[in-house]
Each structure stands twice: as structure tokens, then as C-alpha cells.
Structure 1
Amino acid sequence: MTESVFANAIWRYDYIDHYRLDEAIIGGFLYQKWGGYKYFVKRKGEEFRFWVPRALTKDEKNELIGKRKPKS
């Protein structure tokens, strides 16, 4: 179930380490969380940057980290 995005939400960038993540994994996670918005997921150095209606909580970041691609 997606979380509601309030009309007065102040969108901001949030970041997560890039290790074994890609734009599709992060975008899919954010889509599940908030639905069909443009999240502007981009790699920026050692991190991915993405546009969200609120910063991810520590638990949400841990959930996203759990979706990393397996080691080759």
C-alpha cells in the first residue's frame, strides 16, 4: 500500500550509498512507497540522490539496502 503524499509536502533530495543498487531498484522502492511520481534518481559520486516528499527513515533505508543486487 502506498503512503499518501500531502499537497503541502516539501519535496527534498535524500541520499543512499550506491553499493549494489541501481536506479531501477531505488525507483521501484519509491514507487511502492509513494506511487507514480518523478523521483529523479541519479548516481552522484558514491551515492544515489532521489527526490522525495520526506526523507526516508532509517528503517526505510535499511529496507532499501535489503533490495541490493546479490554479489557476483
Structure 2
Amino acid sequence: MADDPAKVKITAEISATLFETLKSLAEQRGVSANTILSQAISTENFISENEAAGSKLLIEKPNHTLTQVTRKKPSM
């Protein structure tokens, strides 16, 4: 997904815990909170597109075992 050079300002309400997680991730990676949010949205889009195509998301653990990541479908 290509970056759109046009910027749009948003306002969001998140829990204090989630905000602390956001700040911690940004600090760990040496980037801004905006960058973390952008990466999260891009990652979610990538995963969603692949799930829609029938792909599975797998995590390889340090002992080389694979675990499938399953996500609860949102209720409408």
C-alpha cells in the first residue's frame, strides 16, 4: 500500500492502557505514535486482505513450532 502524501487529522478516544502501549511501542522503536498507528492500520489491512483471500496467519515460535492466529469476527 503506497503512502498518501495528503495528511488528514483525526481525533480518537482510546483507553489509558492502550495509550500507554502506543507510547511504549513508539519509544521502543524510536518513532512517533503517528508512525505506530499508521503501521498498525497498514498491518491490519494486509492481514484482512490475506484472510479474505483464504490465507492463514501463522506465528513461528522459537522452538520452530507453528501456531495459527485466529481472530474473532466482529459482530454487526
TM-score (norm 1): 0.26
Larger RCO, structure (CA 8 Å, separation 6 or more): 1
TM-score (norm 2): 0.25
